[in-house]
Amino acid sequence: MTTHTTAPDTPRTPTTGAPSGLVGIPPRIGRALAVGGAVLTIASTFLAWTWTAAFPGDLTVYGYPGGLQVLVLIGGALTALLGLASYGVTGLRRLAPAGADAAVKLAALATFATAWYTVIAISTELGGIVNLEPGAFIVAVSSLAALLGALSLPFERPEPDPIDPDDTSWEHFKHRASHQWDTFKAAFASGAPRALGKLPSHIEILIIVGILALGLLVFTYGIGTEYDELFIGFLITAGLGFAALGKSGLISQASQLTARHQTITVFGAFIAAALFPFTQTDDQYATLGVYILIFATVALGLNIVVGLAGLLDLGYVAFLGVGAYASALVSGSPSSPFDVHFPFWAAVLIGAAASLVFGVLIGAPTLRLRGDYLAIVTLGFGEIFRITANNLDGISGPDLTNGSNGISSIPNLKILGFDFGAQHDIGGFTIGRFANYFLLMLIITAVVVLVFRRSGDSRIGRAWVAIREDETAALAMGINGFRVKLIAFAVGASLAGLAGTVQAHVTYTVTPEQYLFAGAIPPNSAFLLAAVVLGGMGTIGGPLIGAALLFLIPNKLQFLGDYQLFAFGVALILLMRFRPEGLIPNRRRQLEFHEEAEAPTVLSKTGA
């Protein structure tokens, strides 16, 4: 008797035995309902949803979507395209190389959630459903219909009938060949995984340019949301839309393209980032941009310690503080006890060197510890740094840091006569103070990325990975674990100090309260570690994306008041539940978390 292991039982339609979705609608009808509902949702965005402009975004205009209507329009278009791809429409099958059914569910959910959130917000803020126009009722019904249709689609393709692997008879051969042919036809019709195939290099580079342009557009739109309702809708659409693209296989294909042209991708990404200040009319959102880059650069330095070497450092923000204080003390500030004003290049070297020295001093006696013990020691170092900086006020200790008042009135940078605190006209665009610092911080980020990439590919980088995977085995192979870990600690600390030198000049003031273990607004050690883990440990893009999200979202959610951290915590829990490997994981961690899903079906033979 032959037995086999299969996936958990899924609902099946009574007529064909094929898997069905959560609702009792036949998949063929559900697919049509999803596409039709999405098309009707798109049409509804060109109608008025309310009669008054009191609701932000002016949703009273016919023929021109605005505000949250634009997000619903994008969600509806994505649902319709993926739905047509699930039909196998020529030219659209490439939109879902890994299958469209799961992607349609997420896209329809994004559209439904954004549409109903908008309808409920209008009714709540304006005082009832009487404030809704016909367009709002249409979008509510059509988005619900699209979601119900999407939920009727099967969760997985049918499993083949069990076949005895030891049976070599002619009937077995015909059975297996028939199943392979049926599987091929079903895969082609339903959008099963298909390889993209290598396109001409210039086509692939154009695709990468399009991906980078789309990323810049999404980031600019998200950071520039003008009111709270629009940002919440953006989070819903972007989050579920990204998940839908991941399920469809487009994210995987984009990763393959960027991996084949890694140098061009990195260079293009920094060009796209450099264009960000030119998309802004003032410094309002460039301010967030420069702080995001500071946070992201420090997170990338921490990624060397945590992501490559596997050392849990809970006091890493202290190295940022060391670099900031060292730079502030030689910046010419009137609050500094040293009457000196070093040029920027010298301040950068002093900040990075001071952090490196502290990294070695802290790492040398503690890096023989492992796991939780090392985490506790580094947490203690972070607190000791903050308390020490608070006490060096001339009363409790030497007058060095001015205590809780910190080093204030730090002057703006001037490099080769270029004043970073003044506005400048470049190519017809007016670049303000924070935009100047954004471009400077982008150069420093590029240096940190180069250091991370080169060190990760080097012999010492491979030693870090070996220590992270199994320190005992690495020591048995002749790797000097203590020396390797100390180098990781020193390099990570110096990169944090490098970012701290710019932070000191951007914020004008350096105080101990800026370098807590945890707080409502980053950077702090808890948020830095979360950025590395959520973004993707051991990767370049992961901490950059994670830091951008973890800095932007708390700033945009300040309207929630006391519930801000609660909502943010729930979002982090959900993200770690459904994507524990991070937003941009490396292949090893992805296999660790999803090895069961990627494992082949196991056949076993037992006697009856």
pLDDT tens digits, one per residue of 212-260: 888 888 888 888 888 888 989 998 999 899 889 888 888 888 888 887 8
Q: What are the residues facing 341 on neighbouring strands?
A: 331
Where is the domain boundary, 227, 251, 275?
Answer: 251
Q: How confident is the model at residue 141 (pLDDT cuts 50, 70, 90)?
A: very high
Does position 598 have pLDDT exceeding 80, yes or no? no
pLDDT tens digits, one per residue of 293-313: 888 888 888 888 888 888 888
Q: Are residues 246 and 388 in the same domain?
A: no
Cα–Cα nearest to 76, from 124, 108, 31: 108
What pLDDT shows up at residue 43? 94
| Residue 541 falls inside a structural domain | yes
Angle, alpha carbons 293-297-302 (nearest 5°): 145
Q: Are residues 66 and 135 in the same domain?
A: yes
| Residue 35 falls inside a structural domain | yes
Q: Are residues 374 and 294 in the same domain?
A: yes
| Residue 394 falls inside a structural domain | yes
| Residue 343 falls inside a structural domain | yes
Average pLDDT over residues 438-456: 86
Is there a contact between 146 and 38 (Cβ–Cβ < 8 Å)? yes
| Residue 490 falls inside a structural domain | yes
Q: Are residues 567 and 467 in the same domain?
A: yes
**Total domain count, the chain:** 2
| Residue 382 falls inside a structural domain | yes
Query: What CATH number is associated with residue 455?
Result: 1.10.3470
Q: Are residues 523 and 384 in the same domain?
A: yes
Does position 105 have pLDDT exceeding 80, yes or no? yes
Does position 45 have pLDDT exceeding 90, yes or no? yes
Q: Are residues 391 and 246 in the same domain?
A: no
Q: Are residues 68 and 201 in the same domain?
A: yes
Averaged confidence pLDDT in the chain: 79
Q: Are residues 357 and 460 in the same domain?
A: yes
Q: Are residues 297 and 210 in the same domain?
A: no
Average pLDDT over residues 354-373: 84
What pLDDT shows up at residue 21? 58
Q: In which element (H, E) is residue 383 found?
A: helix 371-391
Where is the domain boundary, 202, 224, 251?
Answer: 251
Q: Are residues 198 and 308 in the same domain?
A: no
| Residue 577 falls inside a structural domain | yes
| Residue 217 falls inside a structural domain | yes
Q: Which residue has the higher pLDDT, 37 or 399?
A: 37
Average pLDDT over residues 90-110: 83
Q: In which element (H, E) is residue 10 found?
A: none
What pLDDT shows up at residue 94? 76
pTM equals 0.77
Query: DSSP H helical segments within 129-249, as ranges?
Result: 134-151, 170-190, 201-223, 228-248
Q: Are residues 65 and 214 in the same domain?
A: yes
Where is the domain boundary, 235, 251, 267?
Answer: 251
For 549-580, the three-class secondary structure string (H helix, E strand, C coil) is: HHHHHHHHCHHHHHHHHHHHHHHHHHHHHHCC
Is there a contact between 539 and 307 (Cβ–Cβ < 8 Å)? yes
pLDDT tens digits, one per residue of 475-531: 888 888 888 888 888 888 898 888 888 888 888 888 888 887 766 566 777 788 888
Q: Are residues 321 and 371 in the same domain?
A: yes
Average pLDDT over residues 569-583: 76
What range defines the domain where residue 109 resides? 27-156+193-251
